[in-house]
Structure 1
Amino acid sequence: MPSMIHPVAVIGAGPVGLAAAAHLVQRGLPVRIFEAGETVAAHVRDWGHVQLFTPWAYALDAAARALLERSGWRAPEPEIYPTGHELVARYLEPLAATPEIRDVLETDARVVAISRRGTDKVTSREREARPFSLRVADGAGRQRQVLASAVIDTSGTWGTPNPLGADGLAAEGEEAAIGRIAYGIPDVLGHDRGTYAGKATVVVGAGHSAANVLLDLARLAEEVPGTSLIWATRGTDLSRVYGGGAADQLAARGTLGTRLHALVTQGTIQLETGFAVAAVRDIEGRLVLESEAQSRLGPVDRIVVATGQRPDLSLTRELRVELDPWLESARALGPMIDPNLHSCGSVPPHGHRELSHPEPGFYIAGIKSYGRAPTFLMMTGYEQVRSIAAALAGDRAAADDVHLVLPETGVCTVDREAPAPASCCAPKPEVKSCCGTAA
């Protein structure tokens, strides 16, 4: 355990970052929270119009809840499914306003780099005795140094979306068309309605973010004549996004897939599978997608890229970090969550040991710990930071006593050429399924 001469730095004030701070406070450890946005939960606010498929019962962290209840806060009904905005208003903002969190939280404070004070990545001598050095920038770009005894990076991945190109790079013409491309989950029925009403849109991606956008666009098409939508996916197996229907223990997640499948079946959504995007062409003022096989899709007016996110690795260039070579997740998590092997499977309980790195006292937690894998749930992050906080406090028994109970997805699809995970569709009692995201 590192000496606590300096506070523990928590990067990011989203659900998992604030939970990390609550667990550290609960253990009597000094903490400082750095949020790049102007308010807490900046990433959640960006998709705030979306309803979670995780109900309140799974959306609250135990330590955070204890802090809130001390101030008279009452938890929402456990079976209700909040939107992102409701998650912020009813949980994250009140949590950030508690005295224990409010006094250690800084917004408009972006951590741009982390190192060890006075030494670089190469030097080993007395490395562990040196505090972490964080470069923190404000909105005007002014930087300062902050020292920390340990660092928990919960900055997430929402701010670094994957590009349109199927090869992981920006598609040819993507940058030139950027004004007509949205990444993530635009508010099609609200703030962004005018951008999509009466227009043709292609949605690229095969996850739950794409599903949310498609369902909203389908509703908009019912309300506004001339609105049309195309769904393009690189793969051909859509069982993960269609899900397990009534067999899904998260009813909202099952309904999402069922509704999407129905819209494709009835022809409301034009589905193009096996379309690996290589280029975007501007033809007479409209956009045409071109695949690696040189087939074409369009013309359309707008493109929504819902192809997932990737972690920002620039923060840790001067730290000794060990990542899975293709997922960019914590290395030990890679085999557990690899989407090349399974789309449900199970995530064994994991905590500080699996999330640690060769740099003692540094942890990546929350969705960023999963790298590019799309199957993270908030409750997974809550258990991660509970274990990390216990480890930093020196309570190894509690840190190692990790539990992870995730709702069954009702679907199990594995790579036909790879052996199915031992727990896939036959989970251990304490482990259910890994499928699903926080939104």
Structure 2
Amino acid sequence: MIRPVAVIGAGPYGLSTAAHLRARGIPVRVFGSPMVSWREHMRAGMLLKSTPVASNIDAPQPGHDLIDFCADTGERRYESDWDLVPVEIFARYGQWFADKLLPDLERVRVVSVDRAGAGRDGFELKLDSGEQFTARAVVVATGLSGLARLPRELAAATSDGLSATGPFSHAAQHRDVSRFAGQDVIVIGAGQSALENAVLMAEAGAASVRVVARSRGAVAFGDAPDRQSRLRPESPFGRAWSLYGLTYHATHVRRLPAPARHYLVRRVLGPLGAWWLRDRFTAGRIQVTDGRRVVRARVEDGRPVLTLSGGQGAGRELSADHVMAATGYRMDVAALGFLGHELRTALSVSRGAPRLDAGYGSSVPGLYFTGLAAAASFGPVMRFVCGTEYASPRVARAVEVR
């Protein structure tokens, strides 16, 4: 019996990797609900920060780009750098990609992954359907699921934890922000998620919205396409030598010292708002408190209260009806509960992220990681959909020759 390769996750990276494996004639089973994070955990009305050309899910054959989806379904064409792609359109594009290339995708959850029994090569997988089977290799492409990054002070503020309806939440917990109409809201963060959530809440009728950022002058926006220098090489993220190198030569990032890699992942292309968000942010009359960090959070008379530190007036307190942390995501293999204890302890990690070889293989032979999990090894391009063009062929080639 030929054992398949299991791909866990059906977002852009899982779909792209599975398509490349199948194109090489490798038996593959892919598990998950297609584009679930994009459909259920991204804000209604959200627009992609990336341009249309940077929003293609890589396929092993032509005819599966975003523009092909538009032509096939009759959607409006998204092709210019000035075109803004709604998250709902992108989610439908991913579903279309799956229907075209992976029609047998299995909408079940992987409960556990462990090494196969003594004397056997591969991995034993259990599904929530009750099925158990052995795979010769496993590719983890679970995206952002379970990786929301929270300030310690917020996490410790309530014994009930964070929730969309409680005093504190993470941006990933909200699909519809219209519930904040008439409320005072504080957003922690300065990246695209924080700034766009602030705008969407202001536009939905929030009484007031305040953004709290650690760095002074942290609220900034990128340049519009016509303001980018034509003397610099083009990349999916804009014109810059650094962006070109990080996009098309990500293998070289692996050779950098670990602190440098982590710095690049954290700082390149963020925290920064999209160029098209600037006017909406200004029109929303959103207040900004920068150069401060949260040192304490508590609930007083049902309202969240933040104590800030840094700059003049240290110890200043802010209160609101709700506090939303738009503080991004952080890879931590300990959060991947489906990986058996033996596998997790056998993984070589750097600040919670698996150390990967040039083929995206981990220290456990046959276990591969792609997408956000690979960013600490290959750089910030792995945080974006266009990274599928770099990652997926390499993963498939590595699995084939294993």
**8 Å Cα contact 2:138/2:366 also seen in 1:** yes
Q: Residue type of the partner of 1:228?
A: S
Q: Structure 1-normalised TM-score? A: 0.67
Aligned to 2:389: 382
Please, which moves more after superposition, 148-157 or 290-299? 290-299
* Offset of residue 280 of structure 1: 2.7
Aligned to 2:286: 269
Unmatched runs of 5 consecutive residues or more in structure 2: 230-234, 239-268
Aligned to 2:57: 61
Aligned to 2:362: 357
> Alpha carbons of 1:214 and 1:102: their partners in 2 closer, same or farther (altered >3 Å)?
same
Separation (CA, whole Å) in 2 of partners of 1:186 and 1:117:
36
Question: 1:184 and 2:171 equivalent?
Answer: yes
Aligned to 2:110: 111
**8 Å Cα contact 2:195/2:281 also seen in 1:** no
CA RMSD in angstroms comes to: 3.5
Aligned to 1:218: 202
Separation (CA, whole Å) in 2 of partners of 1:309 and 1:369:
13
Separation (CA, whole Å) in 2 of partners of 1:187 and 1:159:
14
Separation (CA, whole Å) in 2 of partners of 1:77 and 1:262:
22
Separation (CA, whole Å) in 2 of partners of 1:295 and 1:30:
59
> Alpha carbons of 1:330 and 1:314: their partners in 2 closer, same or farther (altered >3 Å)?
same
* SS of residue paired to 1:78: coil
**8 Å Cα contact 1:203/1:305 also seen in 2:** yes
Aligned to 2:322: 302
* Offset of residue 40 of structure 1: 1.1
Separation (CA, whole Å) in 1 of partners of 2:11 and 2:349:
23
**8 Å Cα contact 1:203/1:232 also seen in 2:** yes
Q: Give 1:29-108 correspondences, 5 Å limit.
A: 29-35=26-32, 39-45=33-39, 46-47=41-42, 49=44, 50-63=46-59, 66=62, 68=64, 74=71, 76-79=77-80, 80-89=83-92, 91-98=93-100, 100-103=101-104, 105-107=105-107
Q: Give 1:21-36 correspondences, 5 Å limit.
A: 21-35=18-32
* Offset of residue 145 of structure 1: 2.1
**8 Å Cα contact 1:263/1:269 also seen in 2:** no
1:280 paired residue among 297, 300, 314: 297
Please, which moves more after superposition, 226-235 or 365-374? 365-374
* Offset of residue 116 of structure 1: 1.1
Separation (CA, whole Å) in 2 of partners of 1:97 and 1:234:
43
Q: Residue type of the partner of 2:106?
A: E
* SS of residue paired to 1:393: helix
* Offset of residue 261 of structure 1: 6.1
2:128 paired residue among 134, 137, 150: 137
1:326-348 CA distances to partner (integer Å, 9 max, x unpaired)?
2x33435xxxxxxxxxxxxxxxx
Aligned to 1:322: 348
1:361-405 CA distances to partner (integer Å, 9 max, x unpaired)?
2111012222698761111133212111022223x9xxxxxxxxx
* Offset of residue 207 of structure 1: 1.8
* Offset of residue 201 of structure 1: 0.2
> Alpha carbons of 1:137 and 1:199: their partners in 2 closer, same or farther (altered >3 Å)?
same
Separation (CA, whole Å) in 1 of partners of 2:43 and 2:338:
27
* SS of residue paired to 1:160: coil
> Alpha carbons of 1:16 and 1:382: their partners in 2 closer, same or farther (altered >3 Å)?
farther
* Offset of residue 260 of structure 1: 6.0
Aligned to 2:13: 16
Aligned to 1:366: 371
Separation (CA, whole Å) in 1 of partners of 2:391 and 2:158:
40
Q: Structure 2-normalised TM-score? A: 0.73
2:147 paired residue among 128, 143, 160: 160
1:295-323 CA distances to partner (integer Å, 9 max, x unpaired)?
24322011111111233243333223222
Higher relative contact order (CA 8 A, sep 6+): 2
Separation (CA, whole Å) in 1 of partners of 2:89 and 2:282:
33
Separation (CA, whole Å) in 2 of partners of 1:13 and 1:94:
12
Aligned to 1:391: 398
Separation (CA, whole Å) in 2 of partners of 1:322 and 1:66:
37
Q: Residue type of the partner of 2:366?
A: G
Aligned to 2:155: 170
Paired residues in the alignment total 339
Separation (CA, whole Å) in 1 of partners of 2:278 and 2:3:
53
Unmatched runs of 5 consecutive residues or more in structure 1: 120-125, 333-351, 397-439
* SS of residue paired to 1:85: helix
